[in-house]
Structures are given as structure tokens and as C-alpha cells.
Amino acid sequence: MHIHYNTNQTTLPLELACILPQDHLVFTIEKVVNTLEERHFHAFYHAFGRPSYHPKMLLAALLFAYSQGIFSGRKIEKMMIENIAMQYLTGQLLVSYRTINRFRVAEGMEELIRDLFIDLNLRLKMEELVTLDCLFIDGTKIEANANKYSFVWKKATDKFSVKLQEQIQVYFQEEITPLIYQAIALDEKESITSEQLTEFAQVLEEELEKLNQDIEETPVKGKDERKTQRRKLKKVLRKVKDDFSVRAKKYESYQETFDGRNSFSKTDTDATFMRMKEDHMKNGQLKAGYNLQIATENQFVLHYDVFSNPTDTKTLLPLLETYPHDVKTVVADAGYGSEENLLRLDEKEVKHLIKYAMFDKEQKKGYKQSARNLANWHYDDKEDSYIHPDGWCYRFHHIKHQKTQTDFQQEIKVYYADETESAPQKGLHINERYQHLKAKECQALLSPEGRQIFAQRKIDVEPVFGQIKACLGYKRCNLRGKRQVRIDMGLVLMANNLLKNPTNRLISWVFIYEIEFLCLIFND
């Protein structure tokens, strides 16, 4: 015997919420989005044209789709037809994939996601799920939505740009200068810009026009040297206009796009080629990607940002500057332990537990007994010299100043050995300020409290990357351009936060109240 069913039976579900479980994710999303104030959505209101879909409904639909690992606009549109939970969020409205795609890159979307994070952070703090006192920071690389072989390298651009300038100089001296009467001055020390080449092309066109007019006014029977000169001028004009000028413009646009980077992708110019962990070919191939930085507490993402540089060192300070709350404690791994980061955090009076590059190696027994450990050297304060454990003396010679890529000034004291030929190393370079910062950081990390807090980092921030990559399947960006990628990643991280049902207690209470209210109405 089987339970009877009939697909042709007409059913009228008056309330879709009755079909869904009480603790379904859509109720959490609906509550979080609806509690946002109307002022956050003013950028999406228009006083002209046909009425648009409400931005709260579109935002809720995007968050639910992202939480299910669905990022395509067409697949989100399909969910609105087939998925009951999505129909509950949209009020059974069907939105075109074009509208969905336009909405998630619309003006004001970045500010909306930022306000959504702030509102969720305050809600989590009220429910005592986070304290907003300690930030666990880490980064991961996400592959960009770009062709793998659309790379442009800065070294290659510099190389070919120099060759182009050499060709232009030679060509002007040998081909152009003998043909025209108007003098063209070229500076051999400065590179010739595309604007100058355009001006040169105009001069050549004027010379060609004068020559044509001269040939028409005073024709010559037989061989005419002016026609030979005209052919050469046309050839030179094509070379300047269609070759030199085009290549110069291309290299100039490349240099502007680099903006301090060593590479970029032609498909997505904001993406930089980075070394990814997902290397299926096992050949170290670089892929266009973005550096995603997140700050978490209790595995909730409180803040995030997207950067085009592959290293984490230069991302810490910009990430903290955009953090909407007061920063009290920062915990990060060795990729962030630069001199500039430690110094700036001390100046801002922010507590920090950040490993530096040599921290783990310094804790090993072999390094503590090694001659490479500066703590095993004897320092003479009067002579300002260091004595090697084997007896070689290194005396102070001069102070060297150098700047990092962020224009941070470093002061390094240089010591030279008395006997450079027989000494194990010729010189000794010591950054005293950095040594002091590292000693202070080491003391904090090895303290009982520091050990406990830093051990929490591995189980707080690292699992988030596994959740968005393995569980949600977000291993590659869906949009192009840094601004759009920031929106895309913000939706993914917010959806991952909501999957933990942070407001489950409040949502359950509201749901039960609504069900009881509906039952009273139908009983009456």
C-alpha cells in the first residue's frame, strides 16, 4: 500500500512560510535585511520610469543564492522559479537575470554591503556572539575572472618601451629629418610620448599636403623627384602614425595600469598575477587573482577588503583604516610582521600579537646556540662594536637609510669586520628599531596570555576560507574589476556569516509569533 498522491490536484498554499522549517535560513536573511534603515537604500530609488524592484528584496535574494553556492545571474533567476524558499523571499516575483546582474554592480552597492556588515556586527555584539575587541586577520588569494594567458609584465613592457624609443630616434635621424623642411627637435635623454608622435604626424601631413600642391601647380614631364619624395613621406607617415604612435600609446597605458604592480591581466586590469595554492599542473604557474583580507572573531567575518598586491605585508594598515569600529587587539601571522606595521600599531596604541619572519626559527634549540643568533654576540657599548662568538670584531662604519615600497624610512647600522678576508662575513647590518620591536613582540607572544590568544587564530580565521572555498565553492571571482570583486566577495562573506544563523533565537521567536497569529485568524 502506498500513500495516495495526485499531481493534478489544485492546492492553494496561503503562506509559504508554513511549508519551510522554522529555523530556515531565509528567515534570518529576511530579518537582517529588513532591519536595515531605509536611508541605506536611498541610492537605489528613482523618481522616473516604471516602478523598480525593491532593493531589500533583491539583496535578500542575492544573499540566499550566494549562501547556496549559486553565483550566476541566470541560475539565480532559475531559483526564483523552482525554489520555494527563494519564492518566499521574493514574494513569488520573477526577476530577470539582467536586473540581478545590474543590481549587484549598481552605484551604492559597496556602501550598502558595508552598512550591512556594521549592522550585523552590532547585532552579534548584542547577542554576545562577538566582543569586537580582538581581530584575527589573515588573507587568501582568489582567482580572478580573467583569462590565464592575458598577462602583461612590467619588465617586458619596460624592455620593449626602451627598444621603441631607440627605434624612433634612429628612424627620425635617418628617414624623417632629410625629408622635411620644418625642423623637429628630439631630446635624446627624455622619452618621446604618444602626444609628440601625433604632433610629428601632423607636421608630416602638412609637408605632404604642400608637396602635393606643388606637384599639381607645376607639373613636370618625365621623371619628377618630388613624386619620389612624396612616396617616401607617405611611407614615413604610415610608420609614425600606424606603428610608433600606436605602440607608444599602448606602453603608456600599460605603465598607468601597473600602478606599482609588476603585472596585470588584459581581461581584468585590476587583477595581478599571483602564485596560487591550487596549482593542478604542479609547475608554479601564476594566475590572475586578488588578495582577500578578512578580520574575524568567533569565525564571523567582521570586516574585509580586497587588494591587488600578492603579499600581506602592505595590506594590514589599509585594512585597519577602513574598519568601522575601534581597533583594540590585532592577531596575525608572520606575513604581517614588518617594521612599519609593528611601529604604526604602537603609535596608535593598538595591542597586537603578530609574528615576524624569524620568530618560529628563533624558538628552535639549534638557532639559540648558533653563531648567526645576534644574542650570542658580545656588544661593546663604548666602541660600538660586535664581537663574533669565534672572536672576530665588527666595528660601526656608517648608517644606511633605505625606503620600502610604501615609502617607509628604515635606518640600518652597518658594521664591517676588522679582518674582512678571514671573517665569516664581511659586514653586519642591524636595524636597531626593528630589533627592539621584535623583542617586544616576542615577549608578548611567549607570555601565557599571548600563547592562548594566538593559538585561537588558527581555529578562528582559517576555517572561514575553507567554508567559502570548499562549502560554498567560491574559488573564482564572478565579476571583473576591483570594485565589483569587492561587492562579490562581500556578498559571499555575508552569506557565510548568515549561514551560522546568528539571529536564530530572535528569528524563531518572530516565526512562532506569526504562526500563532495566523492560526488565531483562521480559527475565528
CB 161 within 8 A of CB 251: yes
Q: Given pLDDT bands bounded at 50, 70 and 90, which one contains residue 391?
A: confident
Q: Quick one: average pLDDT of 383-387? A: 89
CB 465 within 8 A of CB 144: no
Per-residue confidence (pLDDT) for residue 188, from 0 to 100: 61
Per-residue confidence (pLDDT) for residue 221, from 0 to 100: 78
CB 391 within 8 A of CB 367: no
Strands (DSSP E) found in 32-188: 134-143, 151-153
Cα 310 from chain centre: 8
Per-residue confidence (pLDDT) for residue 278, from 0 to 100: 72
pLDDT in tens, 61-70: 999 999 999 9
Length of the chain equals 524
Cα 171 from chain centre: 43
Q: Quick one: average pLDDT of 491-509? A: 72
Per-residue confidence (pLDDT) for residue 292, from 0 to 100: 96
Measure the CA–CA gap between 68 and 76, rounded to whole angstroms: 10
Per-residue confidence (pLDDT) for residue 219, from 0 to 100: 83
Per-residue confidence (pLDDT) for residue 13, from 0 to 100: 63
Q: Given pLDDT bands bounded at 50, 70 and 90, which one contains residue 510?
A: very low
pLDDT > 70? residue 356: yes
Considering the chain, what is the average pLDDT of its residues? 86
Per-residue confidence (pLDDT) for residue 277, from 0 to 100: 79
Please provide the distance, in angstroms rounded to a whole number, between the alpha carbons at the two ends of the chain. 38
Cα 354 from chain centre: 21
Q: How many CB atoms lie within 10 A of CB 412?
A: 15
Strands (DSSP E) found in 358-480: 378-380, 385-387, 393-403, 409-417, 427-430
Cα 296 from chain centre: 18
pLDDT > 50? residue 469: yes
pLDDT in tens, 19-55: 888 889 999 999 999 988 888 888 888 878 888 899 9
Measure the CA–CA gap between 110 and 266, rounded to whole angstroms: 24
Per-residue confidence (pLDDT) for residue 495, from 0 to 100: 94
Strands (DSSP E) found in 247-328: 263-265, 272-275, 286-297, 300-307
Measure the CA–CA gap between 142 and 137, rounded to whole angstroms: 16
Measure the CA–CA gap between 28 and 201, rounded to whole angstroms: 65
The Cβ-side half-sphere exposure at 472, using a 13 Å CA radius, reads: 30
Rg of the chain's alpha carbons, rounded to an integer?
33
Which has the closest alpha carbon to 392: 347, 363, 357, 422?
Answer: 422
pLDDT in tens, 448-464: 999 999 999 989 999 99
Per-residue confidence (pLDDT) for residue 517, from 0 to 100: 37
Measure the CA–CA gap between 469 and 487, rounded to whole angstroms: 17
pLDDT in tens, 313-355: 999 999 999 999 999 999 999 889 999 999 999 999 999 999 9
Residue for grid cell 618560529: 360
Q: Quick one: average pLDDT of 423-443? A: 91
What percent of the chain shows pLDDT beyond 90?
A: 53
**Cα torsion angle, 375, 378, 379, 384, sign:** negative
Eight-state DSSP code of residue 476: B
Per-residue confidence (pLDDT) for residue 33, from 0 to 100: 92
Nearest-5° angle of CA 179, CA 181, CA 184? 90
pLDDT > 80? residue 177: no
Which has the closest alpha carbon to 137: 350, 319, 349, 391?
Answer: 319
Residue for grid cell 615577549: 443
Per-residue confidence (pLDDT) for residue 228, from 0 to 100: 83
pTM of the model as a whole: 0.85
Grid cell for residue 43: 541610492
pLDDT > 50? residue 508: no
CB 229 within 8 A of CB 214: no
pLDDT > 80? residue 509: no
Measure the CA–CA gap between 86 and 11, rounded to whole angstroms: 19
Which has the closest alpha carbon to 375: 439, 458, 325, 328?
Answer: 439
pLDDT > 50? residue 511: no
Q: Quick one: average pLDDT of 160-174? A: 85
Per-residue confidence (pLDDT) for residue 183, from 0 to 100: 47
pLDDT in tens, 122-134: 989 998 899 998 9
H helical segments located in 149-244: 154-171, 194-217, 225-239
pLDDT in tens, 247-285: 999 999 999 999 889 999 999 999 999 988 776 666 678
Per-residue confidence (pLDDT) for residue 515, from 0 to 100: 37
